[in-house]
């Protein structure tokens, strides 16, 4: 089971690194207090809204909106791949 832990740690590192460099992080940080207040007052509305947005994305096949490879370049293009490679070289 040590391999599963290693993969989990690497996946978490990549996800955190990706989010730290994502342009929408500033929007989320700015909107977090209002969202927290709304979630405290209406938690089920928030869950229903998230489910509705998720289903619209799936039904609309949002992953097919851009040119081929656009999602991959957007997700990884923020320096995560380069940072991961550099950090793995430093550990050796």
Q: What is the pLDDT of residues 39-67, one digit of tens each?
A: 999 999 999 999 998 898 888 877 676 66
Name the more confident of 37 and 23.
37
Residue 19 has pLDDT above 90, yes or no: no
Count of structural domains, the chain: 1
Determine, yes or no, domain membership for 35.
Answer: no
pLDDT score, position 1? 47
Q: Residue 7: which domain range?
A: 1-17+45-92
Determine, yes or no, domain membership for 34.
Answer: no
Determine, yes or no, domain membership for 28.
Answer: no
Determine, yes or no, domain membership for 31.
Answer: no
| CA dist., res. 89 & res. 60, Å (int) | 41
Q: The tokens of 69 are what?
A: 């490879």
Determine, yes or no, domain membership for 56.
Answer: yes
Residue 34 has pLDDT above 60, yes or no: yes
Residue 36 has pLDDT above 70, yes or no: yes
Residue 88 has pLDDT above 70, yes or no: no
């Amino acid at each position: 089971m040590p391999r599963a832990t290693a993969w989990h740690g690497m996946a978490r590192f990549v996800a955190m690194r990706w989010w730290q460099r994502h342009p929408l992080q500033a929007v989320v940080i700015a909107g977090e207090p209002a969202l927290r207040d709304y979630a405290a007052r209406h938690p089920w509305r928030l869950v229903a809204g998230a489910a509705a947005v998720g289903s619209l994305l799936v039904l609309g096949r949002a992953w097919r909106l851009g040119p081929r490879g656009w999602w991959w370049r957007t997700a990884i293009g923020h320096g995560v791949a380069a940072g991961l490679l550099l950090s793995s070289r430093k550990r050796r």
